[in-house]
Amino acid sequence: MATTEPSDRARAVLDRHGKTYAEQAGIKLSDKPSALYRLLVLSMLLSARIDAGIATAAARELSKAGFRTPERMAAATWQQRVDALGRGHYRRYDERTSTMLGDGAQLLLDDYAGDLRRLHGAATSTRQLESLIQRFPGVGPTGSAIFCREVQGVWPDVAPYADRRVHDGARKLGLPESAEKLAELVPNAEFPRLTAACVRAALDPSIADDLP
């Protein structure tokens, strides 16, 4: 990769690889219960050792099946959830994941009346937000980091957020590794896209070689 200004490299990576995982899954992210819940589901699906394309496809199939709220997810049968995951080719973990989706939906209903904005309001820091998100079945540190990276576009108090994967990708791209300095390179609204691009670069080193 040729030497260029960090701002120019940031713009290049945004132009070529700056699609958030929520966008890839067909989620128009906003500070509304359904969109936030669908992001939580996506974060759980992406946590497994499975291709991101399969995880986002599975999230799309769950949405197509109507499971866009914790109420609908909890009301679905175990087999209906398995079938939706299978249509997204999320087959290796489909049975266990179906159970976790049902349990997680019920937890959200019981503790936060199905609204992740209530969970957000209960968190006094980003670290606590990560811990609360990790209470949901199948969502560990990786899943909570995915959720925070993507949600910072609609929950500004979380920004600027960057986890280890973002730092690794930023280093490979020749960009600043700290969240604060990385965020200075793009408008606030585009920072989730930049962090997603950095994650892709961390997973695929050839991305860095393809930039100016």
Domain boundaries, the chain: 27-139
Q: What's 27-139's CATH class? A: mainly alpha
pLDDT of residue 151: 98
The span from the CA of 39 to the CA of 58, in Å, is 12
Start-end of H helices in the chain: 6-17, 21-24, 33-47, 52-64, 70-75, 78-87, 94-112, 116-122, 126-133, 141-151, 164-173, 179-183, 191-203, 206-209
Report the amino acid identity of residue 204. D
The span from the CA of 43 to the CA of 144, in Å, is 7
pLDDT of residue 2: 45
Q: How many CB atoms lie within 10 A of CB 61?
A: 18
Q: How many CB atoms lie within 10 A of CB 82?
A: 20
The span from the CA of 24 to the CA of 13, in Å, is 16
pLDDT of residue 3: 53
Residues of the chain with pLDDT under 50: 1-2
Instruction: List pLDDT tens digits, range 43-64.
Output: 999 999 899 999 999 999 999 9
